Amino acid sequence: MNYIVLDLEWNQCPYGKEYGKKALPFEIIEIGAVKLDEDRNIVDEFRRVIKPKEYKKIHYKTQKVIHLTQEQLKNGVGFPQAMEEFFAWCSPQDTFCTWGISDLTELQRNMDYFKVKNVFPKPLYYYDIQELMAVDLDERDKRRTLESAVEYYRIKKEREFHGAAGDAFYTAKILQALHWEKVRIYYTFNCYRNPQNKEEEITAIYPDGSKFVSREFATKERAMKDRSLLTMQCFQCGRSLRNKVKWFASQQKVYESIYKCPKHGLMLCKIRFKSLPNGNYFAVRSIETADDAAVQAVLDRKEQIKIRRRRRNGQLRRRSVGKRV
């Protein structure tokens, strides 16, 4: 088994988002990857510059960041060829690692658009090295930039940033610097191909929390009545949790609540909805231990939402009365 550290650079419609392809908001123009063995030793590297088919002119914002020229893109290979060569170099069954959460989603979106067979396993488990660094440093709510992470670990800056090959190399070096036994349990999963039925739903248990990915639902309201989504169990002992604060929508697609385990105390529970192109939704539910500050923050958010709702309803009633008068 190998670790494949992947990084991508992509372009977008140079004339504005509204003129772009809905099925291809970002077109990949460079693939960079580093292969590490099971002991996290770097054994090989991969790089391909890709000739764009849809967005042939580099967007001005992209041009400010990347180091590729129009001439280099013109001489690149087609995306299907690049992917064929990539999967000849590595295996879809290898353990993939990225800096952040976007690369594997955009890679699969490009594969669908250019009709490249998706050979990744489903669900696709991977490591987000940016998140693992936060776990390693016990700063779970913080996400460092790649360059600041390189500086923190005192990694020699021998390549350019904002290029797929260079960024993949630096991410691999950070992977080597992590306390692996501490962070290796914190894998995550890519939901570009989300669960379609109950049998495909995903549950992951971590030392300090759990995650659950549901199947599709026609509406958020229907999902919020589903027993599998709302059955809460302690990730430490498996006991059923008791609801202490009723579910409320803290954002348009985020619901929050507080539950309690008889043995391990209060738990912060969140449900985040992800919309799909077909109009349906699936949900990602998280459960984690909650200290007094976290519980109070939830209660404060709920109260603020109540106040805003009362004010809004009061304004609507006054407008309605004014119209009748």
The tens digit of pLDDT for each residue in 65-95 reads 888 889 999 999 999 999 999 999 999 999 9
Comparing 129-133, 227-231, 264-268, the range with the smallest average pLDDT is: 227-231
Which pLDDT tens digit goes with each residue over 194-218?
999 999 999 999 999 999 999 999 9
| Residue 73 backbone dihedrals phi, psi, to 5 degrees | -65, -40
* Interatomic CA distance for residues 64 and 193, integer angstroms: 32
- pTM for the model stands at 0.87
User: Domains in the chain, please, with CATH?
Assistant: 3-183 (3.30.420.10), 196-305 (3.30.310)
Q: Tell me how crowded residue 191 is: count the other CB atoms within 10 A of its CB.
A: 18
Which residues in 105-236 belong to E strands, given as ranges? 124-128, 188-190, 202-206, 209-213
Burial degree of 77 (CB within 10 A; 0-12, 13-18, 19+): middle
Per-residue DSSP letter, 198: G
Using pLDDT thresholds of 50, 70 and 90, give the confidence band for residue 325.
very low
3-class DSSP state of 44: strand
